[in-house]
C-alpha cells in the first residue's frame, strides 16, 4: 500500500468552497479533543465562542473593530502576492501609515473633520507606500529577495516607532501633560481627527467601510484594467511580460507601493478610528501583529479581495471571541490553541485544492500537467 | 546529408535477437482522447527501432508507458520476456529502461554533474556522501567518448537547448540503461552531430542494447534504424524493415497521403528596401562573456535571411539583442534606416520588430493565461483594446475568436489557457499575434521545433506569405532543411560570429554543416 500526493489536472470550482468548510469541521473536531482533555464541554464552549463573536450584545461591533486592520493588511498582502511579490512587510508599513497619518492629524489641528480625515488617509497611504518602496526598489533594480528585506524592515519600523515616543522628544511625543511625565505617550489628536462611526446597535467603524471600498477598487484594478492585465502576465511569466514590452521594474515598484499604501491606510485607520494618538506601547499597536495575520487572511482568501473582506471578518470574530472567552477557568493559552488549530487546518486544507491524495495501488503515475497536455494533442 | 548518413545503416539485427521490450494491445485514454489504441510493438535486443509518427500519433504516450510514467488502461507489457507492471518511473529505471525526453527533465540551478547524480541508484549515488568529482569525471569521460562535450560543472540554465539535450542523453548513458528511448533527439544537432549520434546509437545496439528512436523525420529514421514501427492516430499501423522501405513509403504510412517535401518553391518574391540593419552587434551572454561578437547583417523587405548554427553559438542571444530583450555592449540596430533604442523590447516593438521566440511556452506566451489574453499581449495598450485604463474584454474576445478562425487554431475556445494547446497550435497563436501587429521585421527562432509535419507546412506557408507581403524575416533555425526551403540567403553562426554567408540557391548542405562545426572559411 502506498500513499501518493498528485497534482490535480483541473481544480473543480466546488472544491474552493468545500475544502475550507471541511477544514473548519476538522478543526472543531480536533479542538473538541483538546477541550475534553482539559475538562471543558466542547459544545458549550463553541456556543460561547459563537455568541462572543457574533450574537452577544455588542459582539459584532467588537468583531468589526478586530476585523478592520486585518482587512487592510489582508488586502495589502493579496495585492502583492497576486504578482508573486511576497511583501511580508505589511506590519512595518502599517506602523509607518500610523506615523504619517498621526503627523497629518497633529499638523492640521484646527481644520475641519473632512479635511483632517482626508489628509490622514493620504498621509497614511503615502508613508506606508514609501516604506514598501524600499524593498520594492531593491527587488526591481538589484533583484534582492523582497521576502527578507520587507520582513527585516518590520523590525526597523517597530524600533523607529518606539524611538519616536520613548527615546526622543519627537513631534509625536506628548511632553506637556502630567501623565506623560510618568509614562511616555504620544500627543492626542484633535477631536475633529476622530473618524466617524455608523449605526447604533452595530457600530461600523469608518475604516471598515473604507476597507470595503478599497477591496472593490482592488478587484476592479486587477480584473478590469490594463494594469491588472500586466500584473497577471507578470505573475504568470516574467519573461513573457518583458518580451511583450511591459515595464517590469516599474510594475514591481507600483505593486509594492500599492501594497504598502493599503497597509499604511490600515495604520491611518488604527489612528483615526481607535487610538487617536501614535501608539508605541509594546502592548498596544505593536502587540497584535496585524501585518502578519493579514498574510494569513490573504492566503485563506486565495488573494481574492472580496474574500479578504469575509475572512477578515471571521478572523476578527475569532480574535474577539478569544478575548471574551478568557477567564479564570479558561486560560488564554487554550484560546491560542483554538485559534492556531483553525489556522492550521484551513491553511493545510489548501493542499487539497491543488493536490489529491491517492491511497493504495495507484493506476497512474504522477502526471505532470505538461505531459498530459501533450498526450491530448 | 542523407547519403552519408545512410551509409551507416547496418543490416537488420541478426537471427539471434530476442525481444527486449514488447507490448500487446496497449490502450491509454486521457479525458476526451484515446492516446494509444490497441498498440502492438516489439523491439529486439541489439536493434535500433524507430517509432515514427506525427505529433499526436501517440509516440510520447507509448514511451511514457514503457518508462513507467503512465500505466496503460489495457494491454500487456513485457521486458526481456517477463510481464511487467510499472507503477512509477523508478520501476522502469530498475528494469533498465532509460529515456531521453523531448521536454527536458533537468533542474536548472544545478550543475550538469548534479543533474546526473539525481536519482542515481548506483553505489556511488546511494552513498550518504556526495562524490561530485567522480561523477564530473565520469560525465566528462562519457561526453568525450560519445562526442557530446559539455562542461560537467556548468549550470543547466547557462546551457543552450542543444547542450541541455546532451545532458539528458548523458544522464541515460550514465545509468547504463539496456533499453534507451530517445524522443526526437536530433532536433538540435548539426548533420555531423546527428551522424555522430547515430554512430553512438549503432554502437550501443551492437553492444546488445535496444535503442528506441522516436522521430517524425523520415531521413533520420532511414539513416539510423533497423526497423520502423509507424503510429498514426494512436494506432500501430505497421512494422517494417528499414532496408525494405523508402522515405515515400514511410511518409505514406505516417500521414496516410503522399507529401512533397523539401522543395523550395520559386515563389518569385520581390526583394525591396533595406529594413533591418545590424551593424557590428556585440552582446554578452548569461555568463557575462560575449556571446555575440561583431555581427553585421542586413535584411530587405520580402527577404528571408536564415541563420544556421548549432544551438549555443550565439543565435539566441542575437535574436534577443535584435528584439530588445538583451542589452548591447557594442554596435547598432537600425529598422528602416532609423536606429532602435537597444535593450528595450517596447522600443523594438514600436519600431515594427515582431519576435517569435525559441521558448514559445514561457516567453512567447503567458502559459496560464487565456488565448484571448495572449493575442493582445503586445497590443493591449492600444486604443482599440482599451478605454481609459480599462480593457475592452468583449472586443478582445471577439478578436481572439477571429484569429482562432483565421489561423485555424485547434482550441476549445478563446478562454482556453495557452498551456492547453499543442505545440503547433501554440505557434499559430504566437504567429497570429505577431502578424496582427503589422511588423516590418520578423525575428523568428526555431519556428517548427517539435511540430508535426502538418503544422510545419502551415508555419512555413505563413512565413512565405509574410515575406511576400514585404516583411523582412530573420529566421534562426537548427533545421537545415527548413533553412534551405525558406531562406534567400543563409548566414552561418559559430561561436558568436558570422563565419559565412551563402545564397540558398547555391548552398550545399555539407558546406554549411562544415561551417556550423567551425571548419569553414570566411
B350-369: average pLDDT:
93
A112-132: average pLDDT:
97
Q: Which residues sit opposite B386 in a β-bridge?
A: B391
Q: Which fold does the domain B2-96+177-255 belong to in CATH?
A: Rossmann fold (3.40.50)
- The domain ranges of chain B are 2-96+177-255, 100-173, 274-352+439-516
CATH architecture of the domain with residue range B274-352+439-516: 3-Layer(aba) Sandwich (3.40)
Which residues from chain A sit within 8 angstroms of residue B348, using beta carbons?
A: 245
Mapping DSSP to helix (H, G, I), strand (E, B) and coil, where does residue A307 land?
helix
pLDDT of A159 > 60? The answer is yes
Q: What is the pLDDT of residues A75-114, one digit of tens each?
A: 999 999 999 999 999 999 999 999 999 999 999 999 999 9
- The domain ranges of chain A are 1-40+330-369, 64-329
pLDDT at B147: 65
Q: How confident is the model at residue B267 (pLDDT cuts 50, 70, 90)?
A: low
Residue that wins the pLDDT comparison between A259 and B116:
A259
Domains B2-96+177-255 and B274-352+439-516 fall in the same CATH topology:
yes
pLDDT at B522: 41
What cell was used for B106?
533537468
pLDDT at B175: 81
Residue that wins the pLDDT comparison between A181 and B307:
B307
* Residue B71 touches partner A, C-beta closer than 8 Å: yes
Which residues from chain B sit within 8 angstroms of residue A245, using beta carbons?
A: 324, 344-346, 348-349, 378
pLDDT of B47 > 90? The answer is yes
User: Which of A226, A366, A376 comes nearest B381 by C-beta?
Assistant: A226
Q: Is the dihedral of CA B205, B208, B214, B219 positive or negative?
A: positive
Cβ contacts of residue B513 below 8 Å, gap of 6+?
A: B1, B190, B191, B192, B480
CA dist A316 and A337 (Å) reads 16
Q: Hey, how many other C-beta atoms are within 10 angstroms of the C-beta on A263?
A: 37
CB contact under 8 A, A363 and B71: yes
Instruction: Give the chain A residue whose CA is nearest to the CA of B233.
Output: A377
Gyration radius of chain B's alpha carbons: 24
Which residues from chain A sit within 8 angstroms of residue B86, using beta carbons?
A: 365
Residue that wins the pLDDT comparison between A17 and A277:
A277
B302: left (phi over 0), alpha (psi -120 to 50) or beta: left
Mention the CATH class of domain A64-329.
mainly alpha
Q: Which among A245, A248, A354 is the top mutation candidate for probing chain B, defined by the most B β-carbons within 10 Å of its own β-carbon?
A: A245
Q: What is the pLDDT of residues B307-359, one digit of tens each?
A: 998 777 899 999 999 999 999 999 999 999 999 998 999 999 999 999 999 98
B150, B142 Cβ separation under 8 angstroms = no
User: Which of B28, B55, B362 comes nearest A237 by C-beta?
Assistant: B362
Q: How confident is the model at residue A13 (pLDDT cuts 50, 70, 90)?
A: confident
Which residues from chain A sit within 8 angstroms of residue B89, using beta carbons?
A: 365
* Residue B264 touches partner A, C-beta closer than 8 Å: no
Residue that wins the pLDDT comparison between B14 and A157:
A157
Which residues from chain B sit within 8 angstroms of residue A375, using beta carbons?
A: 28, 30, 33, 35, 58, 60-61, 64
Strands B227-232 and B235-241: antiparallel
DSSP per residue over A15-30, as a string? HHHHHHHHHHHHHHHH
pLDDT at A86: 94
A187, A169 Cβ separation under 8 angstroms = no
* φ, ψ at A203 (rounded to 5°): -90, 115
Residue that wins the pLDDT comparison between A149 and B312:
A149
User: Which of B64, B324, B377 comes nearest A233 by C-beta?
Assistant: B377
Which residues from chain B sit within 8 angstroms of residue A361, using beta carbons?
A: 87
CA dist B298 and A13 (Å) reads 53
Nearest to B216 by CA among B93, B20, B50: B50
Q: Tell me the nearest-neighbour CA distance from B185 into chain A, angstroms.
A: 17
* Residue B346 touches partner A, C-beta closer than 8 Å: yes
CB contact under 8 A, B391 and A225: yes
Which residues from chain B sit within 8 angstroms of residue A229, using beta carbons?
A: 373, 380, 391
Q: How confident is the model at residue A302 (pLDDT cuts 50, 70, 90)?
A: confident
DSSP per residue over B135-154, as a string? HHHHHHHHHHHTT----TTS
pLDDT of A237 > 60? The answer is yes
How would you label B199-212 residue by residue, b for 16+ Cβ within 10 Å and e otherwise?
Answer: ebbbebbeeebbbb
Q: Which residues sit opposite B241 in a β-bridge?
A: B227
Q: How confident is the model at residue A249 (pLDDT cuts 50, 70, 90)?
A: very high
B406, B432 Cβ separation under 8 angstroms = yes
Residue that wins the pLDDT comparison between A3 and B403:
B403
The proportion of chain B whose per-residue pLDDT surpasses 90, expressed as a percent, equals 41
The average confidence (pLDDT) of chain B is 84
* Residue B386 touches partner A, C-beta closer than 8 Å: yes
Q: Tell me the nearest-neighbour CA distance from B241 into chain A, angstroms.
A: 27
Q: How confident is the model at residue A367 (pLDDT cuts 50, 70, 90)?
A: very low
Indicate the Cα dihedral angle B271, B275, B276, B280, nearest 10°. Answer: 100
pLDDT at B456: 87
B441-450: average pLDDT:
91
The average confidence (pLDDT) of chain A is 88
CA dist A316 and A283 (Å) reads 18
Where do we find the cell 506606508?
Answer: A128
Q: How confident is the model at residue A376 (pLDDT cuts 50, 70, 90)?
A: very low
User: Which of A237, A370, A372 comes nearest B366 by C-beta?
Assistant: A237
Q: What is the pLDDT of residues B177-206, one digit of tens each?
A: 789 899 888 766 667 677 878 887 888 788
CB contact under 8 A, B390 and A224: yes
Q: What is the pLDDT of residues B482-522, one digit of tens each?
A: 888 899 999 999 889 999 999 888 777 777 877 876 665 44
CA dist B279 and B298 (Å) reads 8
Where do we find the cell 504620544?
Answer: A186
Nearest to A344 by CA among A41, A2, A34: A34
Amino acid at each position: 500500500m502506498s500513499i501518493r500526493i498528485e497534482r490535480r489536472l483541473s481544480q473543480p470550482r466546488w472544491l474552493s468552497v468545500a475544502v475550507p468548510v471541511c477544514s473548519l469541521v476538522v478543526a472543531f473536531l480536533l479542538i473538541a479533543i483538546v477541550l475534553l482533555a482539559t475538562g471543558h464541554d466542547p459544545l458549550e464552549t463553541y456556543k460561547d465562542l459563537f455568541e462572543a463573536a457574533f450574537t452577544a450584545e455588542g459582539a459584532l461591533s467588537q468583531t468589526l473593530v478586530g476585523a478592520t486592520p486585518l482587512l487592510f493588511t489582508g488586502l495589502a498582502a493579496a495585492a502583492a502576492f497576486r504578482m508573486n511579490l511576497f511583501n511580508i512587510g505589511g506590519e512595518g508599513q502599517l506602523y509607518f501609515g500610523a506615523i504619517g497619518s498621526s503627523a497629518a492629524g497633529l499638523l492640521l489641528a484646527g481644520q475641519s473633520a473632512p479635511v483632517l480625515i482626508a489628509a490622514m488617509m493620504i498621509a497614511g497611504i503615502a508613508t506606508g507606500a514609501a516604506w514598501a518602496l524600499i524593498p520594492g526598489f531593491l527587488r526591481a533594480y538589484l533583484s534582492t529577495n523582497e521576502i527578507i528585506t520587507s520582513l527585516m524592515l518590520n523590525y526597523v519600523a517597530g524600533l523607529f516607532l518606539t524611538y519616536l515616543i520613548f527615546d526622543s522628544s519627537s513631534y509625536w511625543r506628548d511632553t506637556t501633560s502630567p501623565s506623560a511625565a510618568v509614562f511616555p505617550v504620544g500627543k492626542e489628536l484633535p477631536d475633529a481627527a476622530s473618524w466617524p462611526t455608523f449605526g447604533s446597535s452595530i457600530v461600523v467603524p469608518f475604516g471598515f467601510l473604507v476597507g470595503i471600498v478599497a477591496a472593490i477598487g482592488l478587484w476592479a484594478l486587477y480584473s478590469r484594467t490594463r494594469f491588472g492585465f500586466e500584473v497577471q502576465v507578470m505573475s504568470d511569466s516574467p519573461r513573457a511580460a518583458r518580451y511583450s514590452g511591459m515595464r517590469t521594474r516599474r510594475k514591481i515598484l507600483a505593486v509594492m507601493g500599492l501594497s504598502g499604501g493599503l497597509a499604511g491606510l490600515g495604520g491611518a485607520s488604527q489612528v483615526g478610528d481607535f487610538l487617536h494618538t501614535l501608539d508605541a506601547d509594546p502592548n498596544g499597536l505593536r502587540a497584535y501583529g496585524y501585518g502578519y495575520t493579514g498574510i494569513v487572511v490573504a492566503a485563506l482568501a486565495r488573494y481574492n479581495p472580496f474574500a479578504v473582506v469575509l475572512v477578515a471578518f471571521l478572523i476578527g470574530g475569532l480574535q474577539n471571541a478569544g478575548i471574551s472567552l478568557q477567564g479564570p477557568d479558561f486560560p488564554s493559552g487554550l484560546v491560542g490553541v483554538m485559534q492556531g488549530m483553525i489556522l492550521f487546518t484551513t491553511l493545510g486544507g489548501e493542499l487539497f485544492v491543488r493536490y489529491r491524495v491517492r491511497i493504495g495501488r495507484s493506476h497512474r503515475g504522477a502526471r505532470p500537467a505538461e505531459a498530459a497536455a501533450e498526450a491530448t494533442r | 546529408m542523407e547519403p552519408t548518413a545512410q551509409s551507416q545503416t547496418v543490416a537488420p539485427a541478426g537471427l539471434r535477437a530476442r525481444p527486449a521490450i514488447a507490448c500487446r494491445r496497449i490502450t491509454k485514454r486521457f479525458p476526451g482522447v484515446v492516446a494509444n489504441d490497441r498498440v502492438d510493438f516489439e523491439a529486439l535486443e541489439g536493434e535500433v527501432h524507430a517509432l515514427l509518427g506525427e505529433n499526436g500519433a501517440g509516440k510520447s504516450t507509448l514511451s511514457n508507458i514503457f518508462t513507467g510514467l503512465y500505466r496503460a488502461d489495457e494491454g500487456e507489457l513485457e521486458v526481456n520476456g517477463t510481464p511487467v507492471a510499472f507503477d512509477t518511473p523508478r520501476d522502469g529505471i530498475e528494469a533498465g529502461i532509460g529515456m531521453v525526453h523531448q521536454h527536458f527533465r533537468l533542474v536548472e540551478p544545478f550543475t550538469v554533474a548534479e543533474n546526473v547524480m539525481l536519482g542515481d541508484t548506483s553505489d556511488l549515488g546511494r552513498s550518504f556522501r556526495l562524490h561530485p568529482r567522480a561523477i564530473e569525471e565520469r560525465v566528462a569521460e562519457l561526453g568525450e567518448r560519445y562526442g557530446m562535450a559539455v562542461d560537467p560543472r556548468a549550470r543547466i540554465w547557462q546551457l543552450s537547448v542543444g547542450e541541455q539535450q546532451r545532458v539528458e542523453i548523458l544522464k541515460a548513458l550514465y545509468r547504463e540503461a539496456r533499453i534507451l528511448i530517445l524522443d526526437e533527439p536530433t532536433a538540435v544537432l548539426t548533420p555531423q552531430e546527428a551522424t555522430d549520434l547515430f554512430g553512438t546509437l549503432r554502437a550501443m545496439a551492437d553492444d546488445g542494447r535496444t535503442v528506441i528512436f522516436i522521430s517524425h523525420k523520415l531521413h533520420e529514421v532511414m539513416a539510423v534504424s533497423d526497423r520502423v514501427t509507424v503510429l498514426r492516430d494512436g494506432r500501430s499501423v505497421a512494422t517494417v524493415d528499414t532496408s525494405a522501405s523508402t522515405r515515400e513509403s514511410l511518409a505514406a504510412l505516417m500521414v496516410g497521403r503522399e507529401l512533397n517535401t523539401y522543395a523550395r518553391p520559386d515563389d518569385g518574391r520581390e526583394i525591396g528596401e533595406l529594413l533591418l540593419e545590424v551593424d557590428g552587434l556585440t552582446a554578452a551572454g548569461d555568463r557575462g562573456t560575449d556571446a555575440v561578437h561583431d555581427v553585421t547583417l542586413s535584411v530587405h523587405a520580402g527577404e528571408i535571411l536564415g541563420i544556421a548554427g548549432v544551438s549555443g553559438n550565439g543565435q539566441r542571444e542575437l535574436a534577443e539583442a535584435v528584439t530588445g530583450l538583451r542589452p548591447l555592449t557594442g554596435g547598432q540596430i537600425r529598422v528602416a534606416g532609423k536606429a532602435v533604442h537597444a535593450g528595450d523590447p517596447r522600443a523594438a516593438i514600436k519600431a515594427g520588430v515582431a519576435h517569435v521566440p525559441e521558448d514559445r511556452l514561457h516567453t512567447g506566451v503567458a502559459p496560464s493565461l487565456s488565448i484571448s489574453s495572449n493575442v493582445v499581449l503586445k497590443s493591449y495598450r492600444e486604443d482599440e483594446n482599451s478605454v481609459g485604463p480599462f480593457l475592452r474584454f468583449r472586443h478582445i474576445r471577439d478578436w481572439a475568436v477571429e484569429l482562432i478562425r483565421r489561423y485555424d487554431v485547434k482550441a476549445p475556445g478563446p478562454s482556453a489557457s495557452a498551456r492547453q494547446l499543442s505545440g503547433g497550435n501554440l505557434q499559430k497563436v504566437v504567429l497570429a499575434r505577431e502578424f496582427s501587429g503589422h511588423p516590418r521585421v520578423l525575428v523568428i527562432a526555431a519556428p517548427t521545433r517539435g511540430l508535426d509535419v502538418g503544422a510545419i507546412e502551415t508555419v512555413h506557408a505563413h512565413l512565405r506569405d509574410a515575406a511576400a507581403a514585404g516583411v523582412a524575416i530573420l529566421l534562426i533555425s537548427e533545421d537545415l532543411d527548413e533553412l534551405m526551403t525558406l531562406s534567400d540567403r543563409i548566414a552561418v553562426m559559430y561561436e558568436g560570429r558570422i563565419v559565412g554567408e551563402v545564397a540558398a540557391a547555391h548552398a550545399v548542405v555539407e558546406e554549411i554543416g562544415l561551417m556550423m562545426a567551425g571548419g569553414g572559411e570566411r
